[in-house]
Chains A and B, each alone.
Chain A
Amino acid sequence: MGVLGQWITGIVLSLPLVGVYAIFAIGIVLMYRASKVLNLAHGVMATFPAYILYALSGWGIPLLIALPLAIAAGGGLGYLVQKLFVAPFRSMGETAQTVGTVVVLGLGIAIMATLWGAAPLLAVGVFPEVTFTVGQSGVRLGEIGLFATMLVIFFALQTLFSTTDFGLLMRGSAENPRAASLMGVNPELMTALSWILGGSLAGLAGIMLAGVTTLHPYSLPLQALPGFLAALLGGLGSISGAVVGGAIVGFVLGLVPLVPGLVQLQGAPQLMLAIIGMVVMARRGQTLVATDVRGGIV
């Protein structure tokens, strides 16, 4: 088992991270495109469905029924957040809308901590408990499943947006709601659908992530943070950008600890990501300075 083998193992072990952060980033991008708001409540949309699945399974409801219900809870949460905390504040600007999602984040964490307690719980696994051996460590089927699910979602959404009329309507109404409404599209509905879709995806990723880690009201919502970074790295504009961003974040978190000398340094991957994020933002800032004024004013 040489150094190379160790790195290959590292890459395989990073794939689940890539999967989960890419799914988060896709959802964040969908919502951002629709409402121009960064959904800071994404972590709650991921964690709440995981708790719902936990509760439903506790009542003896089979996974085949409980799983769709739990994912739907994520979508429903997305819908409610958009309806109650984002849309009403459109006239006040994006600051108020973003604060609205922060309010949901705080409230959601508090509700989950009250209902299910602040101690970590063992979540229900979506995939059977099978472990493969890669190098010297094991990788669980659930972890590989996360990555595979992300690929499926990515290709499904790409197909939806690039080949179907419905996808075109969604993109169009996100880009220019007024023009879309003149053509008979209901932009409100399209925005709501984007949030429902984003919320469901967050729920799906959250459920699978909880299945391979633990269910915790404080730490699981924070897992969305790398998702924001992934969305930002991808430019907040496209699904494929979100996946690329997810890959960067996932591999940095998974592989940086393998770099000799960094193993001892606690938080090295986070620091690395923070630096990457800042550099990307700084570069993007410079390119945006000289825009045509007409293009910039809404």
Chain B
Amino acid sequence: MSDTTVNANRFQVAALALLVVFPLIPKVNAGLPSANQAATYAIVAASLVLLTGWVGQISLGHAALVGIGGYATGWAATVLGLPFPLNLPVAAVAAGGMAALLGQVALRVRGLYLAVATLIFSWAASEMLFRQQWILKYGSIPEFSIGREGTLLRFDFSNSRTAYFYIAWGIAIACLYGLTNLRDSKTGRAFFAIRGSEFAAASLGMDVLRYKTLAFTLSGALAGIAGCLIMTEARVISPDSFDFNKSLFYLAIAVVGGLASLPGAVAASVFFAFLGELFYRVSFLGDYLQLVSTALLAMVFRLYPGGLAALARVGLARVEARAAAKQAGMVVPRGPRGASPVDRLKGMFKGGTPAPIAGAPAPQPVAAPRPAPASSREGFLNLAGILEQAPAELDAPPVSDETMELTEVIEVIPRGAGAHDEVEAVEGEDIAFTKALSGKLQLPPGVVPPPPVDPDRRNERRLLIAAEHITVKFGGLVAVNDASLEVREGEIVGLIGPNGAGKTTLFNSIAGFNTPTTGRVTLYGHDVTNLPVNQRAAMGMARTFQRIQLFPQLTTFDNLLAATHLQNPTGFVQHMAVTRAAFVAEASARARVKQVIHLLDLDDVAYRKVGVLPFGVLRMVEVARALVTGSRVIMLDEPASGLDERETDRLTDVLRFVRDLGATLLLIEHDVRMVTSVSDYMYVLNQGAMIAEGGPAAIQSNEDVIAAYLGRSAESETAGV
């Protein structure tokens, strides 16, 4: 475990200690109102980190959501008679519900429509909603207190600022804890994956709209919680506190914090609250608060887009370098204290011994994780069963625990260091990664490859994919005309055709990226013609892309980890609370990824950011990612495009190997040599129509196919490969 985590944990402990003693410090504690404000800032900023930093969506109406939380608190207190802790969920549900509603509309579209929708919402809220009498009358709550008069437990909200301080920060820390756990879970990975590529995310079985809506709903609920806290402290709120400028202010806090970093958001919240206090106390500064804070925002954004979080990281690295220089060779022992569940997991899978879980039995060896329920469904291989046999030793990563850190949108970009350095890195690495392209592919013992395909007797095999009489029209253009194909269990099926033949269109109809004008697609015997991509993936269909759709900021390991989505049955509530089930599922997912990496000999590149890997290796990573999903059917879109001869040969071996593991493959390809050598059965498409099918030998000697490719026939317009 690296020193960074140790130091970061020390900071966390120090910050907590400061928080506990702050109200007890004389004089300083006069700033309690600001310190209380900082807690609500932190919650709203964290909610924006979730939405903007992780999912990449922008909200310009968060203050209005905070307002809804505030008024909902007022409503619950006056109408339902619910006092403070009880009206908190009401506020969260009201604001979260509003967000869900907005999200359902605005998040359907790729792009930043949420920014416009929340802008309109913010406008409509301040012009209309918050001016309605039936809402305004809930703008205050009655005074109330808990406990009997004269006892220690007596707690009067309006007079007890200190108690409120602990409550507000306690709630803020609970929110932050949940979000931190969420970030490094299946849900968090889905968020990052969606920001990286919605197509890839959907093809891994992620419901893009659902996750985007979930993110905005959670974000809105957090804003509602902040609204409840504001109302509880102030007892009176006015619509002016929730206008558009306030939304900008919240966004400013998140940006200064680093936009993707929760500790950064907290630091920025404290900083802005401090600034407010300072400008309030020093009277001649009073008028300049807005100017100074926005100028600061602009400067941070321009000069240091990574925000306070990036500054801290650089600072920590520097401190460590100095410490390391001082006591070379000394290893800082890492105690169990302060290790988050995620840290423990990281330790477990990165070569180190896992840090013990307090109160838990000794950690089980994770070599034999329980297969997740999803893998037993018909569309999925019993990958766990297959992999159980495989050795699972993986070298410790060369880079330490930065993997998830690298997913941040706004990374520290050293000024002056440009693309040049990156190119050099790629060229330098190319030699080092040859193992990923030449290592031995060995079937785990006990895995029996399927019998070779006899083109004449393939009907005896189980039908996995059937495309029946598919026609796809784009306006007046008929891209695919009444084409049918079948993919049967244990086969590698190749679909070839000259440029413009309609291969990709047909492929996309099967994969779910377009809907055929007429015709039917079945998967495992079920009609999937109108099912979206992610639902087909959930039935057991994985794919690779012609233009590689990996997440460049993530390591190979984390890219593959995102593909365990469907195998992980736990939900976001479990992820936030790190339940035992979530912990076990995460451990099982990591074990599976490790084994697949080992199986395909990608150990060398396991902990490299994929952004620096050579193209040929990226293809292998994409195939590995498809394999990690455990899907019985894997579809490959021109896998050999952009590969040289050596890489193509390797790909051929890898595809056969994947088939021998039990998968069934459908690929479209340009490279006729490659496709005839790897396929068990082939289909040839020309000008939208299927002109031939059969075994590779039959196809190679088929007159029509030769004519289509070489243009011997007079009426054929397409020529060449």
Q: A interface vs B, CB < 8 Å?
A: 38, 40, 84-85, 88-89, 92-96, 98-100, 102-107, 109-111, 113-114, 218, 222, 225, 228-229, 232, 266-268, 270-271, 273-274, 277-278, 281-282, 284-286, 288-294, 296-297
CA distance A99 to B57 in the complex (A): 10
Tell me, yes or no, whether B715 is within 8 Å of chain A by CB.
Answer: no
B105: chain A residues at CB < 8 Å are 278, 281-282, 285
B291: chain A residues at CB < 8 Å are 110-111, 113-114
CB contact between A96 and one of B109, B293, B305 (< 8 Å): that residue: B305
Say whether B305 contacts A294, CB under 8 Å: no
Tell me, yes or no, whether B199 is within 8 Å of chain A by CB.
Answer: yes
Say whether B120 contacts A225, CB under 8 Å: yes
B533, closest chain A residue (CB): A293
Knowing A85-B302, A290-B515 touch, does A274 contact B199 (C-beta < 8 A)?
Answer: no
- What's the least CB distance linking B13 to chain A, in Å? 32
Say whether B298 contacts A104, CB under 8 Å: yes
A293: chain B residues at CB < 8 Å are 199, 508, 513, 545
Question: Which 3 pairs between the two chains have the least Cβ-Cβ distance?
Answer: A267-B128, A285-B108, A274-B124
B110: chain A residues at CB < 8 Å are 288, 296
What mask results when residues 289 to 309 of chain B are scored 1 for a CB within 8 Å of chain A, else 0?
011011101100110010000
What mask results when residues 159 to 183 of chain B are scored 1 for a CB within 8 Å of chain A, else 0?
0000000000000000000000000
CA distance A248 to B132 in the complex (A): 25
Say whether A106 contacts B116, CB under 8 Å: no
Q: Restricting to B496-542, which residues have a CB under 8 Å from any CB of A?
A: 504-505, 508, 513-515, 532
CA distance A159 to B398 in the complex (A): 60
Say whether A270 contacts B305, CB under 8 Å: no
B288: chain A residues at CB < 8 Å are 114
B197: chain A residues at CB < 8 Å are 297
Query: Which candidate, B248-256, B425-433, B566-574, is the interface stretch facing chain A?
Result: B248-256
- What's the least CB distance linking B198 to chain A, in Å? 9
Tell me, yes or no, whether B214 is within 8 Å of chain A by CB.
Answer: no
Tell me, yes or no, whether B117 is within 8 Å of chain A by CB.
Answer: yes
State the majority secondary structure of interface residues on A.
helix
A107: chain B residues at CB < 8 Å are 294-295, 297-298
Additional 12 contacts, C-beta under 8 A, given A103-B255, A292-B508:
A85-B298, A103-B294, A107-B295, A110-B290, A113-B290, A228-B116, A266-B127, A266-B131, A270-B123, A270-B128, A277-B120, A293-B508
Tell me, yes or no, whether B46 is within 8 Å of chain A by CB.
Answer: no
Say whether A106 contacts B120, CB under 8 Å: no
Interface size of B by CB at 8 A reads: 65
Tell me, yes or no, whether B35 is within 8 Å of chain A by CB.
Answer: no
Knowing A92-B410, A267-B128 touch, does A105 contact B116 (C-beta < 8 A)?
Answer: no
CA distance A182 to B111 in the complex (A): 28
Say whether A106 contacts B252, CB under 8 Å: yes
Tell me, yes or no, whether B121 is within 8 Å of chain A by CB.
Answer: yes
Knowing A95-B57, A98-B58, A110-B294 touch, does A85 contact B108 (C-beta < 8 A)?
Answer: no
B133, closest chain A residue (CB): A266
CA distance A229 to B514 in the complex (A): 30
CA distance A2 to B72 in the complex (A): 44
Tell me, yes or no, whether B547 is within 8 Å of chain A by CB.
Answer: yes
CB contact between B60 and one of A40, A89, A111 (< 8 Å): that residue: A40
Tell me, yes or no, whether B380 is within 8 Å of chain A by CB.
Answer: no
State the majority secondary structure of interface residues on B.
helix
CA distance A89 to B304 in the complex (A): 12
A225: chain B residues at CB < 8 Å are 119-120, 123, 244
CA distance A284 to B110 in the complex (A): 10
B645: chain A residues at CB < 8 Å are none
Say whether B115 contacts A40, CB under 8 Å: yes
- What's the least CB distance linking B475 to chain A, in Å? 12
Say whether A274 contacts B120, CB under 8 Å: yes
Knowing A106-B248, A277-B117 touch, does A297 contact B547 (C-beta < 8 A)?
Answer: yes
B244: chain A residues at CB < 8 Å are 222, 225
CA distance A33 to B293 in the complex (A): 32
Say whether B56 contacts A93, CB under 8 Å: yes
- 26 A-B pairs within 8 Å (CB atoms) are namely A38-B112, A40-B60, A94-B112, A95-B57, A95-B112, A98-B112, A99-B251, A99-B301, A103-B255, A103-B294, A110-B295, A111-B291, A218-B245, A225-B119, A225-B244, A267-B128, A267-B129, A270-B124, A273-B120, A273-B124, A285-B105, A285-B109, A290-B514, A291-B513, A294-B504, A297-B197
CA distance A104 to B128 in the complex (A): 27
CA distance A80 to B554 in the complex (A): 33
B513: chain A residues at CB < 8 Å are 290-293
A293, closest chain B residue (CB): B513
CB contact between B108 and one of A111, A114, A289, A294 (< 8 Å): that residue: A289
B42: chain A residues at CB < 8 Å are none
CA distance A107 to B532 in the complex (A): 43
CB contact between B52 and one of A99, A105, A270 (< 8 Å): that residue: A99
A268: chain B residues at CB < 8 Å are 128
CA distance A286 to B110 in the complex (A): 11
B545: chain A residues at CB < 8 Å are 293, 297
Say whether B302 contacts A96, CB under 8 Å: no
A108, closest chain B residue (CB): B294
A285: chain B residues at CB < 8 Å are 105-106, 108-109, 113
A274: chain B residues at CB < 8 Å are 120-121, 123-124
Knowing A113-B290, A278-B105 touch, does A96 contact B123 (C-beta < 8 A)?
Answer: no
B77: chain A residues at CB < 8 Å are none
Say whether B56 contacts A95, CB under 8 Å: yes
Knowing A98-B112, A106-B297, A281-B106 touch, does A228 contact B119 (C-beta < 8 A)?
Answer: yes
Say whether A103 contacts B301, CB under 8 Å: yes
B295: chain A residues at CB < 8 Å are 107, 110
A229: chain B residues at CB < 8 Å are 116, 120
A225, closest chain B residue (CB): B123
Say whether A282 contacts B108, CB under 8 Å: yes
CB contact between B127 and one of A88, A106, A267, A289 (< 8 Å): that residue: A267
B123, closest chain A residue (CB): A225
B124, closest chain A residue (CB): A274
Knowing A109-B245, A110-B291 touch, does A38 contact B128 (C-beta < 8 A)?
Answer: no
Say whether A92 contacts B112, CB under 8 Å: no
CA distance A49 to B199 in the complex (A): 43
CA distance A229 to B120 in the complex (A): 7
Tell me, yes or no, whether B287 is within 8 Å of chain A by CB.
Answer: yes
Tell me, yes or no, whether B409 is within 8 Å of chain A by CB.
Answer: yes
Knowing A109-B245, A110-B294 touch, does A99 contact B58 (C-beta < 8 A)?
Answer: yes
CA distance A273 to B106 in the complex (A): 15
CA distance A293 to B635 in the complex (A): 14
B108: chain A residues at CB < 8 Å are 281-282, 285-286, 288-289
Say whether A102 contacts B60, CB under 8 Å: yes
A89: chain B residues at CB < 8 Å are 305
CA distance A277 to B58 in the complex (A): 17
Say whether B111 contacts A94, CB under 8 Å: yes
- What's the least CB distance linking A183 to chain B, in Å? 23
B410: chain A residues at CB < 8 Å are 92, 96
- What's the least CB distance linking B261 to chain A, in Å? 14
B549: chain A residues at CB < 8 Å are 297
Say whether A277 contacts B109, CB under 8 Å: no
B109: chain A residues at CB < 8 Å are 281, 284-285, 288
- What's the least CB distance linking B51 to chain A, in Å? 10
Most buried by B among A100, A107, A271, A284: A107
A273: chain B residues at CB < 8 Å are 120, 124
CB contact between A297 and one of B199, B248, B305, B505 (< 8 Å): that residue: B199
Most buried by A among B255, B290, B302: B290
Say whether A93 contacts B409, CB under 8 Å: yes
A218: chain B residues at CB < 8 Å are 245
- What's the least CB distance linking B49 to chain A, in Å? 12
